[in-house]
Chains A and B, each alone.
Chain A
């Protein structure tokens, strides 16, 4: 990009204000995360006595205590979260990718109707679904099981929409035609030609679904009664509900909060470049 003199001249009236504003935004966003990082290092005594922004000495103790809390239920919550988010996001990505591929690359009766129905799902608030989903799961004996949290999160209309846009752009019709002339079956074309071409889009869908399921609170909160099946979000909530009036539990709650966000932040930082795939391409086109 060529920076013209004209552009340099245009910079002057604004000076460092834009950078300053952005940095203020960055500080606002980082501050609570930094604070919990510090707070989680404090022993229960230090939490209320030392300066709020000074590191403490109790981090290892806090972690040990947290993992010992109620026979290590925190470990279970972490493992459950990984199962729900990992399994759910994988299944969701697979379903979205083949649906998007079919909708983008085939013409068949009912195509528009199916697409519109699926996309209409974006507008249905989770709340309308949560209660009847719970009741239906209860009827078939699946409430309070892993399935009750996993299954309803596989279908994600917006991901199908993204997959369709992605498939339209990334898979040349000529490639599919060539494969058909060579006698490949549609199934083979899908997983040998279409899916490999869709991988970058699928990574984006996977990441967004992974984060969405990891962060979900309402569905597991409604579906689960047994705290051994809780994900971290519901577990943290119960920890807070139990400890809000007991400052002696504050260090456990803060350490729990820190440990529940570290994996996501790590994932998020390592996968930086994938977050850019055009989230809003549909809105522009």
Chain B
């Protein structure tokens, strides 16, 4: 890298990104915070000019969002759903990546492509496919298994299945590409020392994969907290999913159905804050753990 300055050129090259960042990221965030601290006050009967006023209410909307039982139920549902998706999806992604890399498998190319394929299926289409597969009248699965996939106690698992189906391949590919970048002689050395394939996987490959696993976990945490497409798409097929099933669905309802933008803004900031806390919390735990080992 050159130490000397190139005048305004780097700034010029960065102008589009900075303008877009300001317009579509910074300004909307600022606006959300501003909205979240306000509320409409109705005086008298709420008729006539000036009867409805927007006033500053500080953190009232946040405390309302934090104490709303409906929202808490949403958080609990998403927590259960998210934990299930994270463990199963990333577990399978890791397993498949290690199997693909072990060079002992046949049909590796076919399996890799097949498992990555759902990544090309939009969430709406994926939910639609599985939703129809869950319907008793159409499903070949229901021919074999007599399970009500859309019942109140099973719908979370059915939804998690859609997310696992759609996300495993992408995460597998991230982990697999990382594995392919490891010099092969590292394994040869381990083999000469008498390590078995399983030992190599556990003691050599997984430690090298750790940063990539952390990255995919953080992205998956952020994605599952914001789950919206799957429950929204599955809703028309069953009456077990409420319009406030996930926190983001409640934000949507508040903002666009009920028309309460202030609550919606406050709730979306709470969602953002929880995503950040969970992501950073996870990173911290992982780091401490890694330090503890070394």
Contacts and interface: CB of A to CB of B under 8 A. Distances in A.
A278 B120 contact: no
B105 to A, nearest CB: 5
Given A283-B211, A284-B211, A114 B103 contact: no
B92 interface: yes
A101 B216 CA distance: 25
Interface in A21-50: 21-23, 25-30, 32-33, 35-36, 39, 47-48
B32 A128 contact: yes
Given A7-B191, A26-B115, A99 B125 contact: no
Interface in B108-129: 108, 110-111, 113-126, 128-129
Interface string A101-143: 1110111100100100110010111111111111110000000
B206 interface: no
A283 B215 CA distance: 7
B241 interface: no
Interface string B141-175: 00100000000000000000000010011000111
A136 B96 CA distance: 44
B104 interface: yes
B105 A19 contact: yes
Contacts of B269: 128
A52 B140 contact: yes
A233 B248 contact: no
A219 to B, nearest CB: 11
Interface string A250-263: 10011001001100
Contact of A240 (B3, B10, B165, B236): B236
B128 A253 contact: yes
A125 B121 contact: no
A144 to B, nearest CB: 13
B129 A29 contact: no
B35 to A, nearest CB: 7
B268 A18 contact: no
Contact of A275 (B24, B116, B139, B229): B116
The interface residues of chain A, by DSSP majority, are classed as helix
A264 B128 CA distance: 17
Contacts of A130: 268
B132 to A, nearest CB: 7
B11 A132 contact: no
Contact of B169 (A29, A47, A53, A133): A29
B99 to A, nearest CB: 5
Contact of B133 (A19, A32, A217): A32
A103 B14 contact: yes
B271 A125 contact: yes
Nearest to B11: A108
A44 B237 CA distance: 18
Contacts of A218: 228-229, 248
A1 B183 CA distance: 11
A5 to B, nearest CB: 11
B6 A108 contact: yes
B279 A108 contact: no
Given A14-B197, A23-B107, A135-B261, A107 B32 contact: no
Contacts of B175: 280
Contacts of B2: 105-107, 173, 176-177
B165 A29 contact: yes
B165 A237 contact: no
Contact of B138 (A160, A217, A250): A250
B3 A107 contact: yes
Given A25-B92, A240-B233, A268-B120, A128 B268 contact: yes
A70 interface: no
A18 B99 contact: yes
Contacts of A277: 177
Given A155-B17, A222-B256, A29 B122 contact: no
Given A4-B188, A18-B104, A232-B122, 4 more contacts: A131-B35, A136-B31, A154-B20, A233-B229
Interface of A: 1, 4, 6-7, 10-11, 14, 18-19, 21-23, 25-30, 32-33, 35-36, 39, 47-48, 52-53, 94-96, 98-99, 101-103, 105-108, 111, 114, 117-118, 121, 123-136, 151-152, 154-155, 160, 173, 176-177, 186-187, 190, 211, 214-215, 217-218, 221-222, 232-234, 236-237, 240-241, 244-245, 247, 250, 253-254, 257, 260-261, 264-265, 267-269, 272, 275-284
4 tightest Cβ-Cβ pairs between the two chains A and B: A244-B236, A26-B114, A102-B13, A132-B28
14 contacts: A4-B188, A14-B104, A22-B111, A29-B169, A32-B130, A98-B13, A99-B17, A103-B14, A108-B5, A117-B21, A131-B251, A131-B265, A217-B123, A284-B178
